[in-house]
A and B are shown apart, each in its own frame.
Chain A
Amino acid sequence: MRLSVPLLLWLWRQTLPVTIVAAVAVAGLALLIPARLQPQFLELWGALMVLVMVVHSVALVAFQGRPFSGPAGYLYSRGFSRDRLWVHHWLASAAAVLAVWLAAGLVVWTPLRGWTQWALGNPFYPGAAGLDAGFPLRLLPFYVPLLAVLHYSWIRSAQPTRGRWIGPILLAWVLCLLPLALAVEAPDEFPLLGVAACALGVAAVLLVVLSWRLHRNMEVGP
Chain B
Amino acid sequence: MSTLAIQTEALSRLYGRQAALDNLDLRVQAGRIVALLGPNGAGKTTLLRLLAGMLAPTAGGAQVLGDDSRRLSPANACRIGVMIEGHEPPHWARLQWLAALQASAARGFDSGLAERLLGEHHLDGRARFGRLSKGQRRWVLGALALASHSDVLLLDEPADGLDPASRRALYGHLRDQVNDLQSAVLVATHIIDDIERVADEVAVLHRGRLLLHADLEDLREQVREVDVPATAPLPAQPLEVLASGVRGDRRSVWIRGGETVEARIADQLGGSTAVHPFNLERLFLALTSDAAAADGRPASPNEKEEVAQCA
Contact = CB atoms under 8 A, between A and B. Distances in A.
A74 B89 contact: yes
B122 interface: no
A187 B41 CA distance: 62
A220 B54 contact: yes
Interface string B96-130: 01001111111000000000000000000000000
B250 interface: no
Interface string A196-222: 000000000000000000001101111
Nearest to B13: A160
A221 B54 contact: yes
A77 B56 contact: no
A78 B70 contact: no
Nearest to B91: A71
Given A5-B104, A6-B100, A216-B71, A79 B81 contact: yes
A74 B103 CA distance: 14
Given A73-B87, A222-B86, A79 B105 contact: yes
Nearest to A3: B104
B186 interface: no
Main secondary structure of the interface of B (DSSP, over half): loop
Interface string B39-55: 00000000001001011
Contact of A7 (B52, B73, B101): B101
A88 B74 CA distance: 15
Interface in B28-64: 49, 52, 54-56
B84 A6 contact: no
B88 interface: yes
Contacts of A74: 87-89
B139 to A, nearest CB: 15
Interface residues of B, number: 34
Contact of B90 (A14, A79, A83): A14
A4 B101 CA distance: 8
Contacts of B299: none
Contact of A6 (B52, B87, B97): B97
Contacts of A191: none
A78 B54 CA distance: 11
B252 interface: no
A27 B148 CA distance: 44
B87 A221 contact: yes
A181 B306 CA distance: 66
Nearest to B71: A216
Closest 3 interchain pairs by CB? A73-B87, A77-B82, A81-B74
Given A221-B49, A222-B86, 6 more contacts: A6-B97, A7-B105, A78-B105, A78-B106, A83-B74, A84-B74
Interface of B: 49, 52, 54-56, 70-74, 77-82, 84, 86-90, 92-93, 97, 100-106, 148, 150
9 contacts: A4-B101, A4-B104, A6-B101, A13-B92, A74-B89, A81-B72, A216-B71, A221-B84, A222-B87
